[in-house]
Structure 1
């Protein structure tokens, strides 16, 4: 129970609240502080149904109390509010009437805050996400801290829905349509300083200054009201609508960008644009449209698929993959190979405060890796992820070594190999490594194609070896595939799992090893059949890419080949063909890559596409002439037939992985393909709802 005695209000009021606590401000008895805390059993504050009901009742109570101001804050460290409870939202989504009732309740609370006759200020120190941000945006002002945990984001479109607690209407009123869509559709996360710069927050201060700044913001807001009006206004000082000048062009550009990126496979970003367009209308009309569009998204198969992926991700992160076997996080990592993967893994490790020795035979890649790592640390400081002092401390965790001598790795208790996909090169390197490291140190290969046991064949201590497969770019790709060999000890796998979780990645542990593990075994098969369709049936490769992307593949097979490098991708393909000859078309066995070394994809600026920086800007027709290929069959029927063949080949391979016991969980196979190859998240992968019928 909470009791108040406020100003001249002498009647004792009693309000029962479990999650909110309302107190007079100890620094100023004319103001009040409303604190959200879901209790010690919860790490984060979530806007559950009961939390919203209590907030609704509290706003009604405050009408009687009539404070001079209200500050809303969190009682938990490093979190203001992490948004709605996804599990609760999933239950609501089962009944359209419940969806409408929930949104109307949320919008009603928003309007009560918005129409309060006293300033309401959100004091934000930590995560302010989803519905939590929408609550903060309903307030008259927001004060953020420069705490590196402070983050503003609206992640709803990643679940196949749109912000439904008013965010599509309040956000563009605060930051403009362009920035609003960057945050909603671009999944852009802002720190406190960035939020203040764009107008999402009114100030960014040190954590210890948060409450005093919130009081000051309430005071100046009230003063501004009093100077403008003879009485407290009944409406929020946001305009009822925002101007249309230039907005039409912004929205048209946003629409083109979404269609270019998703090919229409994900409807939520398109609905978000439509909702933001309505922010030029009255807030009531805009909220009504938001409810309608949210309901349309919620009933879509894409939303059901993406929310399922959310829970699969959560399951993989929290799962006890090896019951009864525990291990500590490695104390020092040796990283052999300073290329793109090696430098990315090294950066991930030092970012997690794990010391690294980065080794390569040649000085040049080591120098480039150091530049990359220092650049990434500088960017992290610039955007507030870490302080300059923290970045310097992390940089000191990195040591480098070059040449044939591996003695610099002698005290590493976990060594990761990421050298080129050459069986003899890897075996030779492992033999030299065993001469200098402890017998108890783990050796993990980042191989993308070989059977791990083939790599470990000549090791003295086979129990220390396993596969630990990262994905490029390491800093953004969530997945790490882990596979034991027949000789791997449980302790080796446990230590690999511990490192994976320390790096903040999603582990998927295979039940038994296979060449290519899960992702490359499926993805490379699809790329091989795509090349076959170009070579034998002369299907336009760019139309194949477009068809696969429209189906939900984030990047078509030819664009993927360009990204990884045609030479590297084709080499992996040939290794995989050696293991699975029955699953690959023989037409791709002899592609003469030596015809032109300047057509290898993104790294040479040209491949199947012309590349500008990170973007494939247009098809490169010249590659057809160089390799003697022609495109004669490009009708819709031809392209759709080619697409279905690719889908069939990948689905069949994924099913084999389950049926042969490589990974017995179809869910984890799908999660691996979604996270590791960005395959068909809109359809929940390949196995839950197979896109094509597989016949014997």
Structure 2
């Protein structure tokens, strides 16, 4: 089937992009071939006034390059050549004698944005569905179709580096303000506006304005100024990535090459870098992560899922309001209950404030804000719960309280209602003991802040019905989450593998390692925050509770977890929530001070005297405990496959994405090597480093997890 179709209107070729059999358009070889043939055809049509590119998909222009195509190409040579072919085509488009206008509605990402930047004019809808980005850096790649060259020329060097090095989204009004698009209009008017743009270009009445500030123009227009910009960008990129990702420095080299030696030389450097980066282990891991994330946004059990139109959420605090927020923003009606209607109303106000921020940033309209917030009904009672299909509780992490919630909910809800517990560690089987219909009790473990954290961990018990698991999974997908499904047990998967990692941090502190070195070493390894800072963010009280829940599990293996969280809690340490933790949270004149370690806490870890330890030793001890526990979870069938384990660790706990997750890390380091390292630490430090049987078995049989 053809990707492109053409209709002629008033001497203008309206080219519709509609990839057959796909929900979204992707940039692939078929599109390149058909577009090349189309330009050949247009060159012979002397009476053609110009062409408009428009999508035939709902809410999508081009979602980016087809990553499957990239995965199937040999890196670096075949991928470099693919980029070179695409760049030649877009250079031809840019220099085409007739105006070509992109009419953009919906997502326009990566190669899609690069295609539009080679056009002579861009008109975009001002709809919230319209979003643009150069997200290749998130796959460990640089843009491969001119993005490193055209984006700086359109919006300026400094602004472009922000988007090229982070992959951040650009929304319509931002795009217009910075000059990435030439015109904004209603989604139904983009084709009309695009045709008028062709007339403007043909009669010479269009000239693109340089929307950079005076300071930007001064800095960017001369080599010394650009040298400063590139130097600062390199420092920021290194600070953010700790040197673990090769894509940012490669992107900077491509942009700099284009400024120094011109567009075509820059494009050639980009094609070479695109191929080289695709061959790196970091990119391969990030591409595998991309496919894992795509899979986790689909529900393989969709046919078993039942329709859910109204959800009850118990608890309007940070977690409850967050769960309600992601629900209503995806079209679900929510009854948000707390002990009083006033407390519930505060939860709704939090949701409204979040949407107002989007209005202020012009991402959504006031109408969309009001329509969405109207889907939340705050309540202090169970009135209306006779109409809900699912209840998600987000109350305090106490077994008795959660069991009490089950009983109350089942008294007022219909027989088909699902009860989902948002707990980070309490076994769902124990919560379900209070239920008259335990087959309809399931765990839905969200991560804080719910609106930003992409994962939800579904926990099923031996009694949970398949349709209940399927429906919970469907709700997670509808809420925009990546979903993994695990079997029940203390701590499930994510909390369970985090526990020994955090326990090892406490052991290292007791051995005299400083808070600064501990956190710095793990951030250098690739974690977004260090373990001491994580204790403060999660809450030392929460850590103490989790230790209690998991104690018996680890005791069965002869491992005795540190009692420090409980000691610290008894001394009044809770972390950031009460400004008493591993770090100081003082303010001076209303301004937050630079975060400093709280040295008073060292009195619980052998005194103020600290010693330096080799960073690699810290990193290996910390990471191997997490990796080993992940293997235990697979061995005990808490996890059903390694892919879920890798995804859960990365999206839920911040395991370094470029390493691919615990199981890919083991495969790439070598199972035998991992076992050898663990046995060394077991001899030195004790049974907590005893390798899981599955690791020893795989090592002896030469097997791998993938």
Q: Same fold (TM over 0.5)?
A: yes
Match of 1:528 among 499, 503, 521: 503
Aligned to 2:143: 163
In structure 2, distance between residues paired with 1:37 and 1:441? 41
In structure 2, distance between residues paired with 1:475 and 1:469? 14
SS of 2:387's partner is: coil
Aligned to 1:420: 396
Stretch deviating more after TM superposition (71-80 or 666-675): 71-80
Aligned to 1:276: 255
In structure 1, distance between residues paired with 2:570 and 2:256? 51
In structure 2, distance between residues paired with 1:685 and 1:651? 9
Residues 528 and 588 in structure 1, CA contact (< 8 A), matched pair in contact too? no
Q: Give runs of aligned pairs for residues 438-517 of structure 1, distance below 5 A.
A: 438-510=414-486, 512-517=487-492
In structure 2, distance between residues paired with 1:142 and 1:590? 57
Aligned to 1:558: 532
Closer, same or farther: CA 636–217 of 1 in aligned 2, 3 Å: farther
Residues 541 and 569 in structure 2, CA contact (< 8 A), matched pair in contact too? no
Deviation, structure 1 residue 682: 0.8
Show CA shifts across 1:229-270 (max 9, x none).
Answer: xxxxxxxxxxxx965464334333333333333222222223
Deviation, structure 1 residue 301: 0.6
Deviation, structure 1 residue 644: 1.1
* Residue 104 (structure 2) pairs with residue 124 (structure 1): yes
Match of 2:134 among 154, 158, 162: 154
In structure 2, distance between residues paired with 1:617 and 1:653? 35
Deviation, structure 1 residue 303: 0.3
Which stretches in structure 2 are left out of the alignment for 5+ residues? 209-219, 680-690, 692-706
Give aligned pairs, total: 656
SS of 2:484's partner is: strand
Aligned to 2:4: 20
Deviation, structure 1 residue 305: 0.3
Match of 1:75 among 48, 56, 72: 56
Deviation, structure 1 residue 385: 4.8
Aligned to 1:3: none
TM-score, normalization by structure 2: 0.86
Closer, same or farther: CA 294–629 of 1 in aligned 2, 3 Å: farther
Stretch deviating more after TM superposition (684-693 or 134-143): 684-693
Aligned to 1:303: 283
Residues 321 and 509 in structure 1, CA contact (< 8 A), matched pair in contact too? no
Residues 345 and 378 in structure 2, CA contact (< 8 A), matched pair in contact too? no
In structure 2, distance between residues paired with 1:51 and 1:615? 52
Aligned to 2:338: 360
Closer, same or farther: CA 531–329 of 1 in aligned 2, 3 Å: farther
In structure 1, distance between residues paired with 2:376 and 2:3? 45
In structure 2, distance between residues paired with 1:593 and 1:506? 35
Show CA shifts across 1:370-391 (max 9, x none).
Answer: 2210111223334455432232
Aligned to 2:214: none
Match of 2:80 among 100, 108, 126: 100
Residues 534 and 631 in structure 1, CA contact (< 8 A), matched pair in contact too? no
Aligned to 1:89: 70
Closer, same or farther: CA 538–410 of 1 in aligned 2, 3 Å: farther
Match of 1:687 among 663, 668, 680: 663
Aligned to 2:353: 375
Closer, same or farther: CA 77–410 of 1 in aligned 2, 3 Å: closer
Show CA shifts across 1:24-81 (max 9, x none).
Answer: 3x23x2x433332223x22222111121022123223333335443322223332221
Residues 465 and 488 in structure 1, CA contact (< 8 A), matched pair in contact too? yes
Aligned to 2:308: 330
Show CA shifts across 1:445-493 (max 9, x none).
Answer: 1111111111222222212211111111211222211122232222322
Match of 1:189 among 169, 175, 187: 169
Aligned to 2:562: 587
Stretch deviating more after TM superposition (473-482 or 57-66): 57-66
Match of 1:262 among 241, 257, 262: 241
Deviation, structure 1 residue 331: 2.1
Deviation, structure 1 residue 179: 2.0
Show CA shifts across 1:409-429 (max 9, x none).
Answer: 343221111111112222223
* Residue 550 (structure 2) pairs with residue 576 (structure 1): yes
What RMSD, in angstroms, separates the aligned Cα atoms of the two structures? 2.8
SS of 2:412's partner is: coil
SS of 1:122's partner is: strand
Residues 609 and 616 in structure 1, CA contact (< 8 A), matched pair in contact too? no
In structure 1, distance between residues paired with 2:205 and 2:607? 71
Closer, same or farther: CA 519–335 of 1 in aligned 2, 3 Å: same
Show CA shifts across 1:624-645 (max 9, x none).
Answer: 35646546564352x3222211
SS of 2:648's partner is: helix
Residues 336 and 418 in structure 1, CA contact (< 8 A), matched pair in contact too? yes
Closer, same or farther: CA 63–583 of 1 in aligned 2, 3 Å: farther
Residues 286 and 657 in structure 2, CA contact (< 8 A), matched pair in contact too? yes
Residues 173 and 242 in structure 1, CA contact (< 8 A), matched pair in contact too? no
TM-score, normalization by structure 1: 0.88
In structure 2, distance between residues paired with 1:590 and 1:164? 49
Bigger helix fraction = 2
Aligned to 2:120: 140
Q: Give runs of aligned pairs for residues 540-551 of structure 1, distance below 5 A.
A: 540-551=514-525
Closer, same or farther: CA 596–531 of 1 in aligned 2, 3 Å: same
Match of 1:342 among 317, 320, 342: 320
Aligned to 2:644: 668
Q: Give runs of aligned pairs for residues 594-605 of structure 1, distance below 5 A.
A: 594=569, 597=572, 600-604=574-578
In structure 1, distance between residues paired with 2:472 and 2:561? 37
SS of 1:580's partner is: helix
In structure 2, distance between residues paired with 1:355 and 1:543? 47
Match of 2:601 among 611, 624, 631: 624
